[in-house]
């Protein structure tokens, strides 16, 4: 655009045509009309910011004043908040556009994006398969080429897991790196906006805009870099094709000079698994009512829960009248979280590694359907869907770590497989720098 090879109008027209061609994927809960985007992009102000009138997809739990924010649930259907989320304001200030709001797993409490209210989002590599979740519609929109990037959210893996299943890059920053106001809450100690794009460079650009304090991110030369490999427990019980892709990726990193150091993360994982759902349910029960009041919605927490249509989500929240987690249990979970974070930091220091590398998910995408919402097939047996798909991503969510999923390769049937890099809180530029170099090595 800056060189004059293509105009913003031509680019938006091409993306609109791509969106029409991919309508069967059902990635949008609300799609901004093409003429509205064209009119907005025609404003001369959109030439100056770093996004230059580029449209981004926005998950349907991130507030936008010009489009409804429903979190994929019936009680919020058709309601628009009073203000944009802070992250959206930063995108607009950088001359970015909002292309629409994306289908997601209801209330962000699942990993399939099979939503009864909007219809299930499909995976661009096979529309009969799940795109992951809860930011599944955003990941699918980016992977399908409908938009070049988007904003998801990540609590236990909701940006990274669908990025892996759709074959794009998904980043979870350190907790607090981006402003969090204006997001339908799930867990204040875990939630964050998560940028998604088709390249690490584009994620770095979005990170600079969202953080408000751009830091220099350079590709980290791999020779001599020590990266931890948590064979125990994250390289066990993998889908055979995922295992093959990830091990080839490790070989490529080692060939490029990285020192891969075996580490045991099992104790940290055990601690974070115990704290997960209690933390989310306790904080959701208290923070969602505050969000509703702030936006002037004449709704209660119970109203929202009674409107839930997804059986797997209803099983978690019930009708909203019970308080399933008491203060003592919550405080115990918070203490366990602190212990786990201390163990994680100690592990990095003891092994002198700056980051860990692991499969983002233990299995690729599975078929859309209510059966998959509950259980999936892994190595010849049915296993619970939710804990299986977030088995590897949950640690970063629980501990507030920076983590990124990037494409590592494909299965024999063409399904994407991702690898995740994560590091200590605050080491976002380390993770992004390593991802830049890993991307080059894996796809050169």
Question: Active-site residues: which are they?
Answer: 59, 134, 158
55: tokens are 């449209």
What percent helix, strand, coil does the chain show, rounded to 5?
A: 45, 20, 40
**Beta strands 375-378 and 149-154: pairing type?**
unpaired
CA-CA distance, 172 to 1, in Å (whole number)?
29
Q: Other C-beta atoms within 10 Å of 215: how many?
A: 11
Omega cis (within 30) before 429: no
Mapped onto helix, strand or coil, the DSSP state of residue 132 is coil
Measure CA of the first residue to CA of the last residue in the chain; give whole Å: 27
Note whether 77 and 118 are within 8 A (CB): no
How far is the C-alpha of 105 from the C-alpha of 158, rounded, in Å?
9
DSSP codes joined into one string, 276-327: HHHHHHHHHHHHHHHHHHHTT----HHHHHHT---HHHHHHHTTS----S-H
DSSP one-letter code for 410: E
């Amino acid at each position: 655009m800056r060189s004059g090879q293509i105009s913003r109008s031509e680019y938006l027209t091409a993306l609109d045509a791509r969106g029409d061609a991919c309508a069967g994927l059902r990635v949008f809960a609300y799609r901004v009309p093409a003429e509205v985007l064209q009119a907005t992009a025609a404003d001369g102000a959109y030439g100056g910011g770093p996004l230059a009138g580029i449209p981004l997809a926005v998950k349907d739990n991130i507030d936008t004043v010009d489009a409804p924010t429903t979190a994929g649930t019936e009680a919020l259907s058709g309601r628009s908040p009073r203000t944009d989320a802070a992250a959206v304001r930063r995108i607009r200030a950088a001359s970015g556009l909002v292309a629409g709001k994306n289908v997601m797993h209801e209330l962000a409490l699942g990993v399939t994006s099979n939503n009864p209210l909007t219809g299930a989002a499909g995976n661009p590599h096979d529309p009969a398969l799940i795109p992951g979740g809860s930011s599944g519609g955003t990941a699918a929109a980016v992977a399908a080429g409908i938009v070049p990037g988007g904003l998801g959210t990540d609590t236990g893996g909701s940006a990274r897991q669908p990025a892996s299943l759709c074959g794009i890059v998904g980043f979870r920053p350190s907790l607090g790196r981006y402003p969090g106001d204006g997001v339908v809450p799930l867990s204040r100690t875990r939630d964050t906006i998560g940028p998604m794009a088709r390249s690490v460079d584009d994620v770095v650009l979005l990170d600079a805009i969202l953080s408000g304090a751009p830091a220099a991110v350079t590709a980290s030369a791999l020779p001599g870099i020590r990266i931890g490999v948590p064979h125990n427990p994250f390289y066990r019980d993998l889908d055979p094709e995922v295992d093959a892709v990830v091990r080839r990726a490790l070989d490529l990193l080692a060939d490029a000079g990285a020192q891969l150091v075996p580490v045991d993360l099992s104790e940290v994982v055990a601690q974070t698994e115990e704290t997960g759902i209690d933390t989310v349910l306790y904080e959701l029960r208290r923070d969602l009512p505050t969000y509703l009041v702030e936006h002037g919605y004449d709704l209660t927490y119970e109203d929202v829960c009674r409107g839930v249509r997804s059986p797997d989500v209803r099983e978690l929240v019930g009708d909203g009248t019970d308080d399933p987690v008491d203060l003592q249990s919550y405080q115990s979970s918070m203490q366990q979280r602190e212990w786990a974070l201390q163990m994680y930091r100690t592990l990095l220091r003891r092994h002198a590694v700056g980051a860990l590398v692991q499969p983002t998910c233990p299995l690729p995408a599975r078929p859309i359907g209510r059966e998959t919402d509950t259980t999936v097939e892994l190595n010849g047996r049915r296993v619970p869907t939710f804990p299986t798909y977030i088995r590897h991503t949950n640690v970063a969510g629980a501990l507030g770590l920076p983590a990124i999923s990037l494409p590592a390769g494909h299965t024999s049937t063409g399904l994407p497989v991702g690898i995740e890099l994560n590091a200590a809180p605050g080491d976002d530029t380390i993770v992004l720098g390593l991802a830049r170099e890993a991307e080059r090595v894996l796809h050169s």
